[in-house]
Structure 1
Amino acid sequence: MNVLVYSGPEVLQSSLSRSIAVLRSTLSYVENGGAFLGLRAGATVGTSLFNVIDPSDYSLRFQDQKSGNTVYCKFFPGGEDSCRSVNIEAVQGGATASLLESGAVEFDGIETAQNAQVIARIMEDRKVVAASLQTSSGRVAFWGVHFETAVTTENTSLSADDCKIAEEKRQEVVRDTLRKLGLTLPSLNESGPSYALPQLLTSAPSRPEIVVQILNALNVQPPASFKDVNDTFNFHVASEAEELMQQCRFQQTDNLRHIVAFTDGSMPSRGLTPLFDIGQYYSDLADATSRAGCPMTSSSWGAGEAFMYGEVVTSTQTLLDKNPRFLSSLPSPLLSLATHQIAGRGRGGNSWVSPVGCLQFSLRLRVALSTIPPARLVFVQYLFALAVVEACRDDGVLGSLGDKIRLKWPNDIYIVGDDENEKATKVAGILVYTTFDGNDVDIVIGCGVNVLNPPPIASLASLIPSGVDRKLSMERTAAIIMAKFQSMWTTFLAHKGSFDPFMDLYLGRWLHSDSYKYDTPSPGGGYAGSQGFIDLQPDGNTFDLMSGLIMMKAR
């Protein structure tokens, strides 16, 4: 069974009304037996006679013909900056949990309505904070707090031990809600740890000096610690890896970020990385960079050749951009990759969920502002998105089957359908964080690509027809993405951050390219065509489409 999940909007009022208009089309899905989960959402229950509602309330309306009730759903804005921790109590079983709240959410009429059930209350004032209801044929549930956000020491003041207990309780609350919506959940022993495991710092066998250079830049010689604003990093020598990993798999020992440094080109054993073959990744990277024609230099290394892997991390992005001293001290480029993230981040403060089969990583770059003017840094996200699309189309990944992989401005990658009536589905997303440091800029590119996710999640694997002998791997996909980006990045730097060398390719990979032709360069640097005008603007992060094409949120 599938569940439609919608999180309370963090968008402008004009965009919000359009988003809700799209969501109203999902009502038939619920009425025909589907399930709906609203996050940062409240509910009001009335009779079916009360059927006039102001569209400015941004409400969805679910009807239960059996009871005569109408359930009005309202989403409440609120970002992570305004969050505070609140204690909630589940009505059934009395389980308690500490969750994040970003403002009051209203529930009205739930407690007296037929086919309605209160899931949880705030312990302090006993206000309803979550409820589930039966509609005519489907089920709906609403949570007014951020029950989807993992409890970590990064977003609460709890100790590491208390965080572990709070996170276990939160996960049980999530599971209980999903069961109420009719889902059958995997057993707990099928999932990994709910806390971070040690990360392994390695380098390409052809560049054994890289790890030592990184340690020297950080001024640490393992065993040693590096304290920063958000985290303290404990560095270990390779000989400690087996025992440390065994201890951490058994229980969370402390709140430190453990990093094991493998110097002189040595590699972790496969027992340390059962879900990702680092040796195979480097072999695939060498092959991909050779095919991409990436230049080899003795003074610097390429994207992906300095590699930090963690089976479970809080967020590859947060570990870098929330620790400014650590970030600014690291040499560039550095790839941080994880099999599981427990607090991944998306665009606009959204959470990035990382189910099994999702390739998620962050790439740290540092470049002089004399090489790329500040106004052109916005092009980095377009460039990396293009590199991901080209990697998907590479013979080492999907080959010609990747023709359906397209760019959706500014930072998403979609699979298009066989015809214009088939809705495009998101398969990857990109988040770029920049911080200025004197005459340089630190760039952290976060990316998540659904590679091997099982249905119903859209993934690269879903494009491979049954019976076709093509096997995808996380290692090879990551390696080819790095090689494609390194080749483009070299050209990008040579042209002082100009996007001109990539514009034709970008337009050819654009989501709407089948419907809109752009073939005439404009005086301002954009492209004019039969349906309008497209212009990538570096100032203000805008994408100007004169015919209003950017308003088309879905095909």
Structure 2
Amino acid sequence: MNVLVYAGPGTSPDSVKHCLESLRRFLSPHYAVIGVGTQTLLNEPWSSKTSLLVIPGGADLPVCQQLNGKGNKVIRDFVSRGGKLLGFCSGGYYCSDKVEFEVGDPMMEVSGKRELKFFPGIARGCAFKGFQYGNEAGALAVALDVNPQLLEMEAGEECLNYYNGGAVFVDAEKYDNVTVLASYKEQVHVDQGDDTRASAIVHCKVREGDVILTGTHPEFVPEMMHSSQEPSYLETVKLLKENDEVRKKFLRACLLRLGLKVNDDEIVRPRLTPLLLSSPISGAVQSIIDDLTADVAADGNLLKCETDNFRLHIDETEISSHMDKQEELEDPDTVTKELIAFTKEIPERKLTFYFDINNYFRYLRESYGALDRVRAGSILFYGEVVTSTSAMPNSNISLLRHLPSGTLLAASVQVSGRGRGGNIWINPYGVLASSLILDLPLAYTHAPVVFIQYLTALSYVEAIKSMGPGYEELPIKIKWPNDIYAMKPEYFGQKLSPNDSEPAWVKICGILVNTNVIGKNYKCIVGAGINLSNSEPTTSVNSTITAWNKFNNKQLEHISPELLLAKYMYQMDTLFNKFKQFGFKPLLPLYYSHWLHDGQVVRLQDYGNTRAMITGITDDFGLLVAQEMDVHGRVCGQKYHLQPDGNSFDMFNNLISKKAYV
């Protein structure tokens, strides 16, 4: 499920940044924490896949201009049906019945009714004077009295939050659907109504849903606050750092109150590790390095690509002096990446704690029989912790153009993993992330490039099921067009009809293919992330094997990341070569043998909720074929062809609808 952080007009970049960072620390990997714009909230079917919507700080009038009417109706419906919402600072103003901000100040005043009305009273501010738009002149470290029902605090502990212009929730104690979670300790500078204390953070029950609104910023991470040189601001940051443990406890308690699955402790993004380039094929690494250094702008050993800079080391492993100079809290998207090219030998095991590169190449050689030429996976970029195996080549074309077809980028952890619709998340150890570079000539006519996503899902499932006797029975299948699902253990052995079976399956692998045109080729970056041994947020391949062994009294061994990646590369190479020769049509029977949708009945939302049965996919463009059914459940004449990238298929609701792209 997703946590959406609104990042459209009205939100400040700093507030969005802190929201994303704090929520990812507490909610990853249980949720994908994603920044989204206005058009997503207005036009995408986001609500069924979202647990929490967050409106960060900034200014609420531009948010009104964007979301009043249609947007707010979607948000209210989402919350009313059980969704959760978190509004920080101006997000708290925005979600109240009425805003009274700096009343009487002709330059600052913002007053008026608001549409959402989750807090049924007035949000009045500024609670403390001194706020100025665009700077931290009025920033404070404010002390909160925390409701002991939310958080039991030890003697001497004080909860301090960053404050910059937030509200008092007036008369919050008198509303039946409102619980005050924290109040301001100090006397506020506006009328707080009849409440005994000025309410700073409130929990509002809205039909089936839950809303928490704040006047302070419990999401702000002090170690990330260093933009100002004002002495008063620096003192504020110092106080927040000294009391940060209680802030984290408090934020965690708020997230738990919303019913979310929250980590016991923050999971701070790990620092990036060097990217190791190696190959058992003689001269392959040196050839890439020669091409790169001849083409890419360089400053000494620093290669300057379009988005990232790479510091190049040739057969050198002692690079700690460079790493020590990086900031304690690095920005993974801007920090210089360390690239070590092994031109003479394969990296030693001690350099890669979570992945044995020598074992990987051994398994790859056993799969192919020999590695005497470049084939899928025979050139490997491996990093223990990277930004994104897909984003690195996709956003650095001067790097991508010199990567031969078959080059593989793999990682044990991604701190900026990418998915469809711009989704970004941190994937932890146990999720095997990889991106394979494949070249396909522009003149290729057998089938469109869209089929590569089908080949990828098919290759991974074939890799798992070809591990040996017994693995072929594992309940792992493909959801159209390219997601891989595993059956929940409680459904093992049950005879399920196509439509009853959907809740029995959970996603374990996502695939995203990015395509660039370079020269006379499509340069495809085939990204995949598979839950191999991490059971969050759903389950994993090895968890499925454990449960399957118990249910069937089997003794199938867990699969190592090195073996799975090698088998996947072999299957992908084999199927891709068949695809280049004959198109996808000869591979359709194999694809159907692994997919979830035989005989499934769906509703076609854009065709008057017509009931139709899925009968296959077209072999020319990979369109899903659904055939209309009559009132007796019989397939009749009308057929519908649906695009894999133009439709949203929520198989749990048996619903196919067009996505709205703007």
State the Cα deviation string for residues 150-208 of structure 1 (Å, max 9, x = none): 99x9xxx99xxxxxx9xx99x988875334333674556xx6763322111111x3x13
State the Cα deviation string for residues 47-86 of structure 1 (Å, max 9, x = none): xxxxxx966854322699xxxx99959xxxxxxxxxxx99
- Contact 1:320-1:327 at 8 Å conserved across structures: yes
- Equivalent residue number for residue 605 of structure 2: none
State the Cα deviation string for residues 322-348 of structure 1 (Å, max 9, x = none): 112111222222111111111111101
- Contact 1:340-1:354 at 8 Å conserved across structures: yes
Out of 209, 213, 216, the residue aligned to residue 283 of structure 2 is 209
- Equivalent residue number for residue 348 of structure 2: 269
Out of 361, 368, 371, the residue aligned to residue 282 of structure 1 is 361
Out of 436, 441, 459, the residue aligned to residue 363 of structure 1 is 436
State the Cα deviation string for residues 244-295 of structure 1 (Å, max 9, x = none): 687489957993111001113x1222221111111111122222334xxxxx
* Distance in 2, Cα, partners of 1:141 & 1:5: 20
1:258 aligns to 2:322 (yes or no): no
- 1:81-120 to structure 2, matched below 5 A, reads 93-94=159-160, 114-117=178-181
Across the aligned residues of Structure 1 and Structure 2, the Cα RMSD in angstroms comes to 5.3
- Contact 1:379-1:499 at 8 Å conserved across structures: yes
Report the CA distance between 1:118 and its aligned residue: 7.2
SS in 1 for 2:463: helix
- Contact 2:648-2:656 at 8 Å conserved across structures: no
Out of 475, 478, 498, the residue aligned to residue 407 of structure 1 is 478
* Distance in 2, Cα, partners of 1:525 & 1:456: 29
1:236 aligns to 2:286 (yes or no): no
* Distance in 2, Cα, partners of 1:234 & 1:174: 36
- Contact 2:311-2:336 at 8 Å conserved across structures: yes
1:395 aligns to 2:395 (yes or no): no
* Distance in 2, Cα, partners of 1:110 & 1:267: 68
- Contact 2:83-2:210 at 8 Å conserved across structures: no
- The amino acid of 1:133's aligned partner reads H
- Equivalent residue number for residue 301 of structure 2: 224
State the Cα deviation string for residues 80-134 of structure 1 (Å, max 9, x = none): xxxxx99998865445599xxxxxxx999896663244799xxxxx9xxx96737
- Contact 2:457-2:484 at 8 Å conserved across structures: yes
- Equivalent residue number for residue 656 of structure 2: 551
Q: Structure 1 residues 524 and 4 mapped into 2: Cα distance closer, same or farther (>3 Å)? A: closer
SS in 1 for 2:427: coil
TM-score normalised by structure 2 residue count = 0.58
- The amino acid of 1:393's aligned partner reads K
- Contact 1:367-1:442 at 8 Å conserved across structures: yes
Report which stretch shifted further, 471-480 or 482-491.
Answer: 471-480
Out of 244, 248, 255, the residue aligned to residue 181 of structure 1 is 255
- Equivalent residue number for residue 194 of structure 1: 270
- Equivalent residue number for residue 452 of structure 1: 533
- Contact 1:430-1:447 at 8 Å conserved across structures: yes
Q: Structure 1 residues 361 and 181 mapped into 2: Cα distance closer, same or farther (>3 Å)? A: same
Q: Structure 1 residues 285 and 224 mapped into 2: Cα distance closer, same or farther (>3 Å)? A: same
- Equivalent residue number for residue 473 of structure 1: 560
- Unaligned ranges ≥5, structure 1: 24-35, 44-52, 74-84, 99-105, 121-125, 159-164, 291-295
- The amino acid of 2:476's aligned partner reads I
TM-score normalised by structure 1 residue count = 0.68
- The amino acid of 2:558's aligned partner reads K
Q: Structure 1 residues 288 and 97 mapped into 2: Cα distance closer, same or farther (>3 Å)? A: farther
Report the CA distance between 1:442 and its aligned residue: 1.5
- Contact 2:408-2:436 at 8 Å conserved across structures: yes
- Contact 1:38-1:142 at 8 Å conserved across structures: no
Report the CA distance between 1:227 and its aligned residue: 0.9
SS in 2 for 1:384: helix
- Contact 2:32-2:425 at 8 Å conserved across structures: no
Percent identical among aligned pairs is 27
* Distance in 2, Cα, partners of 1:149 & 1:280: 43
- Contact 2:387-2:414 at 8 Å conserved across structures: yes
Q: Structure 1 residues 359 and 131 mapped into 2: Cα distance closer, same or farther (>3 Å)? A: farther
Q: Structure 1 residues 239 and 524 mapped into 2: Cα distance closer, same or farther (>3 Å)? A: closer
- Contact 2:204-2:210 at 8 Å conserved across structures: yes
- Contact 1:312-1:340 at 8 Å conserved across structures: yes
Q: Structure 1 residues 484 and 409 mapped into 2: Cα distance closer, same or farther (>3 Å)? A: same
- The amino acid of 1:178's aligned partner reads R
1:506 aligns to 2:570 (yes or no): no
Report the CA distance between 1:508 and its aligned residue: 2.4
- Contact 1:110-1:117 at 8 Å conserved across structures: no
* Distance in 1, Cα, partners of 2:410 & 2:220: 21
* Distance in 2, Cα, partners of 1:438 & 1:315: 25
Report which stretch shifted further, 176-185 or 327-336.
Answer: 176-185
SS in 2 for 1:212: helix
- Contact 1:385-1:413 at 8 Å conserved across structures: yes
Q: Structure 1 residues 268 and 248 mapped into 2: Cα distance closer, same or farther (>3 Å)? A: farther
* Distance in 1, Cα, partners of 2:388 & 2:289: 22
- Contact 1:357-1:452 at 8 Å conserved across structures: yes
- Equivalent residue number for residue 53 of structure 2: 38
- 1:122-141 to structure 2, matched below 5 A, reads 133=203
- Equivalent residue number for residue 348 of structure 1: 421
Report the CA distance between 1:303 and its aligned residue: 1.1
1:436 aligns to 2:436 (yes or no): no
1:327 aligns to 2:437 (yes or no): no
- Contact 1:222-1:237 at 8 Å conserved across structures: no
Q: Structure 1 residues 250 and 378 mapped into 2: Cα distance closer, same or farther (>3 Å)? A: same
- Contact 1:397-1:477 at 8 Å conserved across structures: no
- The amino acid of 2:389's aligned partner reads T
Aligned length: 472
* Distance in 1, Cα, partners of 2:252 & 2:336: 32
- The amino acid of 2:273's aligned partner reads L
- Unaligned ranges ≥5, structure 2: 1-25, 61-71, 85-96, 98-115, 120-133, 145-158, 185-189, 191-199, 229-236, 601-612, 628-633
